Amino acid sequence: MRRLLLALPFALLPLATGAAEHGHAHAEHEHAQDEHGSLNAHEHGAAQLNIVLDGKALELQLESPAMNLVGFEHAANSAADKAKVAAVRNHLQQPLTLFSLSAGECSVSQQTLESPLFAESEQGHDHDHDHDHDHEKNHDSEHSDIQAHYTFNCQKPDDLQQLDLRELFKRFPATAKIQVQLIGPNGQQGLELTAAQPTLRF
């Protein structure tokens, strides 16, 4: 199922060709930024969501600056910061709630959360040497992202008419907009969701 999302950028390539022809030098600059893992220049308040619905398999991949979800991007050193990271992680481990998958009889078959902030919280007290290294790396990059990847098995995919991100915007109010790329039964589409317009149709 992971190969579906890997194919997503290629499937959406025609949407980007016009922009690429705008200026080769500009495209090269953007490519260089992409190689360094930036999320559209790491825009605070903005996130990306890739969605693939293929038969009974639904795959979601959310990528967001940590600032949108946690409220900071530095290493979680204080007890308050660690509590925030733990709370965000707990929210992200409830995808059926965040994405309001109330139809389609969908169940989570796999989920993965990735972020330097999560890695640091997992290290606990065993971090004398590694913490210094990670802390240094964190300062070098300046930015921290959070990635959440979910795979669902939907027994009745035809009943899955829409995705509602109302709860996600509610729990993470610093997220002002989510750029969505969707591949589903009706083809591919790109759209922007906000707290005022939090739903998309498959």
pLDDT tens by residue, the chain, 202 residues: 445 554 554 444 444 333 334 443 333 333 333 333 334 556 889 999 999 999 999 999 999 999 999 999 888 889 999 999 999 999 999 999 999 987 999 999 999 999 999 876 554 434 433 444 444 343 434 578 999 999 999 999 999 989 999 999 999 999 999 999 999 988 999 999 999 999 998 8
Is 11 exposed, middle or buried (CB count within 10 Å of its CB: 0-12, 13-18, 19+)?
middle
pLDDT at 95: 96
Would you say 178 and 113 are in contact if contact means Cβ atoms under 8 Å apart? no
Long-range CB pairs of 184-190 (<8 Å, 24+ gap) are 184/51, 184/52, 184/53, 185/53, 188/11, 188/12, 188/15, 190/12, 190/15
What's the CA gap between 5 and 61, in Å, rounded? 8
Strand-pair partners of 61: 50, 149
pLDDT at 4: 54
User: Among the residues of the chain, which ranges form H helices?
Assistant: 2-11, 13-21, 24-35, 66-69, 79-92, 95-98, 116-123, 128-141, 166-171
Distances (CA, A) of 28 to 1, 19, 32, 48, 76: 31, 12, 6, 21, 35
What's the CA gap between 40 and 51, in Å, rounded? 18
CA–centroid distance for 106 within its chain: 20
pLDDT at 180: 97
